[in-house]
Each structure stands twice: as C-alpha cells, then as structure tokens.
Amino acid sequence: METLEKIKKQIAENPILIYMKGSPKLPACGFSARAAEALINCQVPFGYVDILQHADVRAELPKFANWPTFPQLWVEGELIGGCDIMLEMYQSGELQSLLQQVAAKQQD
C-alpha cells in the first residue's frame, strides 16, 4: 500500500488520531508527551501512530497535511493542529468538548 493511502486509511479508521513520536504511554519527545497527556485527560478512546516506527508516514504526512511538525491531532478526518493548538484548546475546555462529542457518536 502506498504511504499516502496508508495515511488516509489511518485517518479514516480512527475518529480521533494522533501522529506522535513514541506512544501515549512512552512518548519520545516533550511535545508528544504534552499532547498525549491532554488527550488522555479528555478520557476518550483515541488511536495513535508512532512516526518513529513509520519513516514513510513521517516523511509524507507533513506534505499531505500541509503541517510541518509533530504531533498532529486529527479528528473526524480533519487536522486540528499540533501540541500548542491542542494545549490551548484543552485549557479553554474546547478540546474536551470536541472529543467527547466525537466519542459519543462512536458509541451510537
């Protein structure tokens, strides 16, 4: 499968998905650690892709997303942003609200 197809499939199959360095339990950089912590604190299920394990995704995703850095949070197929945007949304309560709405849809 071509990398771009793989990325599109990952995004389509995961309503809440973070591309990050490492895993939520073992993040490999400070930005990924803070972003994953915010997601975990929202208490909703989410998927993740460790870009350190997937060099092809790490190379192609910034071009596809038009976003140069990691982590990247995708919700219902749309790029939300990186660590700074996620933390701003978390601090305002916007992230929790958005993710809980998405998670509730998945349970229906």
* Long-range pairs of 8-12 with CB within 8 A, sequence gap ≥ 24: 10/47, 10/49, 10/57, 11/74, 11/77, 12/77
Is 8 buried (19+), middle (13-18) or exposed (0-12) by CB count in 10 A?
middle
> Would the annotation count 70 as a binding residue?
yes
- The CATH-assigned architecture of domain 3-98 is 3-Layer(aba) Sandwich (3.40)
> Would the annotation count 58 as a binding residue?
yes
Per-residue model confidence as pLDDT tens for the chain (108 residues)? 799 999 999 999 999 999 999 999 999 999 999 999 999 999 999 999 999 999 999 999 999 999 999 999 999 999 999 999 999 999 999 999 999 999 999 877
> Would the annotation count 42 as a binding residue?
no
pTM value > 0.85 = yes
Q: What is the pLDDT of residue 106?
A: 84
Q: What is the pLDDT of residue 35?
A: 98
The DSSP element (H or E) to which 73 belongs, if any, is: strand 72-75
